Structure 1
Amino acid sequence: MKYAAYSEYKTSPMTWLDQLPTHWNAASLRWMSKRYAGGTPDKGNEAYWEEGEIPWINSGAVNDGYITQPSELITREGFAKSSAKWIPKDALVMALAGQGKTKGMVAQLGIPTTCNQSMAALIPDHRFAPRYLYYWLTANYQNIRNLAGGEARDGLNLEMLGSIPCPVPPVDEQQTIARFLDAKATQIDALVAQKRQLIDKLKEKRSALIARTVTRGLPPEATNAAGLEPNPEMKDSGVSWLGTIPDHWDIDKFSREVHITEGQVDPEVEPFASMFLIAPNHIESGSGRLLALETAAEQFAESGKYLCPEGAVVYSKIRPALRKVVIAPENCLCSADMYPLTCRNKLTNPYLYWLLLSNQFSAWSVLESDRVAMPKINRETLNELRIPIPPQEEQLEIVEYLAMETAKVDHLLSKADAVISSLTEYRQALITSSVTGKIDVRALA
């Protein structure tokens, strides 16, 4: 839908905006709000936290956008012995610091609460509708972060927040804009939620497909197409994590069929420094998809990395990255958090790759990793694992079938992700256009 613009504009005095509707004003946030930081009672004093009754929120709460539940409850004594302060309902809170994208994020309070010292309370005066201010600050998230060095670790402070320039439409118009954006955001968020549900279902379908095929074999229609015997007899594998398998499949120890590379190389010297280095953060969990490739030099890698031949299966041995598996696209290195695996004898690398992606193997690896002090899969534990071994011809058919069928699911996942990205961009553009006066929504709310 195309929205109308205002009839007249004037040059904006604000650095973040080039023009404003003629009847709008502008002012810095310091002249139109109260601002103060929170505080945290001593975490080591149980008397400040046990059986608390005063709401308290941490920086992560801003991710909710509208806060209706506290992160924790503190006691009256904890409140009195700290710099925590009450913040009224409907006021705004902004993260002054935090990991990742948290710094600069803003939320509105649906409850009166207190907050930690890494958050600022923003209490607008009578010239600001809080909900309009929330949308203005949301629209300028990156500009606000840039006040403290953008992606640098520097935090925001109250003085910086006071310097934020704000357009000031008449209050009734602010309220109209906020109502319009609330309605539109609700519609868009509902569509995004539907797409996320679809993505979850598709991922479940993909996982179930892999799990069934690597342990039960091809479905009848695929078996017939491959010229294999359909509906094979099943037998108890004798392996708790595996269950029943086709009667003609073998079972053997991991160590007899898979070689785990030993010996490390120095990634700071050539030719290793120019090789790609795969670490758990480069792999999408559960999908086997390689997200990025960086050379060892680009990652400032230190000594202690493994050499992986092209086609090797690279498996993450640490929690919480146990579902990260990929096939090396070329001769490369992998981090010490990963095992480079090469099959021999009766097992093939591509079949092993799909087996390690299966729900059954993932469940086994999580259970086994819990048995050690530092959660991971030890080399000895993996070597003792008993795994299924179909005939090689059948392995090749299973690999081809899974590659084809998962590609169909991945295509649908990609389309759903693209829709979510488009909706998210449209939502943000609508907020920005509304709070800056680029569109006139007075007749629409």
Structure 2
Amino acid sequence: MSFPTYPAYKDSGVEWLGEVPEHWVMGSLKNMAQIRNGRDYKEVESSDGEYPVIGSGGQFSNATQYLYEGESVLLGRKGTIDKPLYINGRFWTVDTMFYTEISKGACAKFFYYNSLTIPFGYYSTSTALPSMTQADLLNHPAAIPTKLEQTQISRFLDHETARIDALIEEQQRLIELLKEKRQAVISHAVTKGLDPTVPMKDSGVEWLGEVPAHWDVVPTNYRYEIQLGRMLNEQRAQGEHLKPYLRVFDVQWHSINTADLPVMDFPPDVQSMYRLRHGDLLVNEGGSYVGRSAIWRGELDECYYQKALHRLRPHSLKKDTSEFFLYVMEMATQQGVFVAGGNQTTIDHLTAEQLRKYRFAFPPLEEQQQIAEFLSVDSSKNLSTTAEAEKLIGFLQERRSALISAAVTGKIDVRGWQPPASIKAPKSEVAEAV
């Protein structure tokens, strides 16, 4: 969709703003609103409070009193400073946010959309915690049309951004459905197999349920050698035999980072224990990523791993393949097998002793390979569709930002725009804009 430009422009005198419509007035945000400080909410917080307490992420609590009533735009003072919020009603906002009193000659929604174009990175103070000052916000340059035109621009942006947001939400739902489908396909394949006609048996493991009758259900250590990595300390960060090693965040699902790895001393007497071989399965041992796994495919000639990782190596390559067991680990993690006491809290550490005792279902090697190949193809298609959806979301978000910027800086003329006949704009705004 293309929109016309204004008949005449003038130089704004602001490099990043460029030319603006000739009849717009150059000013700053203080010409449209006054900025006020939020306040600590502890004394007014109550679960029975009728007024929302607003932070940078929206409402997070309730209050018995309100700080302001009416239309306002909330701007971050500390922390999350680049997510302005529009609100209309009675509210309390926290002391790390500013709220605004919109001037009579300005439209609150126009001020909000204008705020979305502020280059917060340019103004942010150079501290560990990003912050903004009232002075910087108040003096931020702005090209200001009449209130009538501000209202029309806001009507246009309300409609167009709602359309874009609906498309984004649709793609986000698609991504969630694809994720659920992928998990369901993996779970079924590694617990039921690919042949729906084979006889089944009770696995004896509650979360596994029934499995094909010819599969073995045994503890992990029956099929895999499990070795925890080498602990890092100051002495081992130096030495004569410095070797690259993998950390927890280097091991993501199905992928391993090998760029810019740190080094640790691995003397000859321990190298055979910790040196990775092609086909080894690496499993995260601790933190919030318990169970996350990937296969080492010999990306480097020589590589090792730290204590926070388990290395699983099949006792017999004629019996097991890590390709299959990688999907088993993904299924087990997604189904919450590695949780503490059944309370859905991820365990702090998946010790080698625990991992050795977990019982899984193992089909014959040829069937493991067939299942792994099937899941690889299916996952590839799934991830490709997901990537397309994510790419479209990125394009839509860029389109949204560009449209807002173009409208509030006068690069497009929407004075003649009207919503489709099936869309009814709010009466108050229509009356003012017509």
Q: Same fold (TM over 0.5)?
A: yes
Name the one with the larger strand percent.
Answer: 2
Per the alignment, residue 326 of structure 1 pairs with 294
In 1, are the aligned partners of 2:11 and 2:19 still within 8 Å (CA)? yes
Specify the SS of the correspondent of 2:214.
Answer: coil
Change (3 A) 1:178 1:291: farther
Distance in 2 (alpha carbons) for counterparts of 1:10 and 1:291? 54
Indicate which of 168, 182, 186 corresponds to 1:192: 168
Structure 1 segment 24-173 matched on structure 2, within 5 A = 24-42=24-42, 49=46, 51-61=48-58, 70-75=59-64, 86-98=67-79, 102-140=80-118, 143-149=119-125, 153-173=129-149
Per the alignment, residue 224 of structure 1 pairs with none
In 1, are the aligned partners of 2:45 and 2:62 still within 8 Å (CA)? no
Deviation at 1:236, TM superposition (A): 0.7
Specify the SS of the correspondent of 1:131.
Answer: helix
Indicate which of 396, 400, 407 corresponds to 1:434: 407
Distance in 2 (alpha carbons) for counterparts of 1:272 and 1:207? 42
Distance in 2 (alpha carbons) for counterparts of 1:356 and 1:342? 14
Residue ranges of structure 1 left out of the alignment (5+ in a row): 62-69, 77-84, 221-230
Per the alignment, residue 252 of structure 1 pairs with 218
Change (3 A) 1:129 1:371: closer
Deviation at 1:116, TM superposition (A): 0.9
Change (3 A) 1:280 1:24: same
Which residue identity lines up with residue 342 of structure 1 in the other structure?
Answer: R
Which residue identity lines up with residue 250 of structure 1 in the other structure?
Answer: D
Deviation at 1:271, TM superposition (A): 9.6
Specify the SS of the correspondent of 1:111.
Answer: strand
In 2, are the aligned partners of 1:319 and 1:369 still within 8 Å (CA)? no
In 1, are the aligned partners of 2:340 and 2:346 still within 8 Å (CA)? no
Per the alignment, residue 367 of structure 2 pairs with 394
Deviation at 1:218, TM superposition (A): 1.4
In 2, are the aligned partners of 1:91 and 1:123 still within 8 Å (CA)? yes
Task: With the length of structure 2 as denominator, give the TM-score of the two structures.
Answer: 0.83
Per the alignment, residue 285 of structure 2 pairs with 317
Which residue identity lines up with residue 397 of structure 2 in the other structure?
Answer: T
Which residue identity lines up with residue 67 of structure 2 in the other structure?
Answer: W
Change (3 A) 1:336 1:95: farther
Deviation at 1:90, TM superposition (A): 1.6
Specify the SS of the correspondent of 1:295.
Answer: coil
Aligned-residue sequence identity (percent) comes to 27
Distance in 2 (alpha carbons) for counterparts of 1:190 and 1:177? 20
Distance in 2 (alpha carbons) for counterparts of 1:434 and 1:39? 33
Task: With the length of structure 1 as denominator, give the TM-score of the two structures.
Answer: 0.81
Which residue identity lines up with residue 57 of structure 2 in the other structure?
Answer: G
Residue ranges of structure 2 left out of the alignment (5+ in a row): 267-273, 419-434
Distance in 1 (alpha carbons) for counterparts of 2:414 and 2:264? 53
Deviation at 1:270, TM superposition (A): 8.2
Change (3 A) 1:277 1:174: farther
- Provide Cα deviations, 1:384-404, integer angstroms capped at 9, x if missing partner: 111111111111111111111
Deviation at 1:294, TM superposition (A): 4.0
Deviation at 1:432, TM superposition (A): 1.1
Per the alignment, residue 205 of structure 1 pairs with 181
- Provide Cα deviations, 1:149-174, integer angstroms capped at 9, x if missing partner: 48953311222222211110111111
Change (3 A) 1:281 1:340: same
Which residue identity lines up with residue 198 of structure 1 in the other structure?
Answer: L
- Provide Cα deviations, 1:34-73, integer angstroms capped at 9, x if missing partner: 112212244xx7x854543443122221xxxxxxxx4212
CA-based RMSD of the aligned residues comes to: 3.1
Change (3 A) 1:271 1:111: farther
Which residue identity lines up with residue 201 of structure 1 in the other structure?
Answer: L
Distance in 2 (alpha carbons) for counterparts of 1:21 and 1:4? 12
Change (3 A) 1:301 1:57: farther
Deviation at 1:422, TM superposition (A): 1.5
Distance in 1 (alpha carbons) for counterparts of 2:213 and 2:14? 75
Deviation at 1:119, TM superposition (A): 0.6
Per the alignment, residue 4 of structure 2 pairs with 4
Greater mean deviation of Cα atoms: 313-322 or 288-297: 288-297
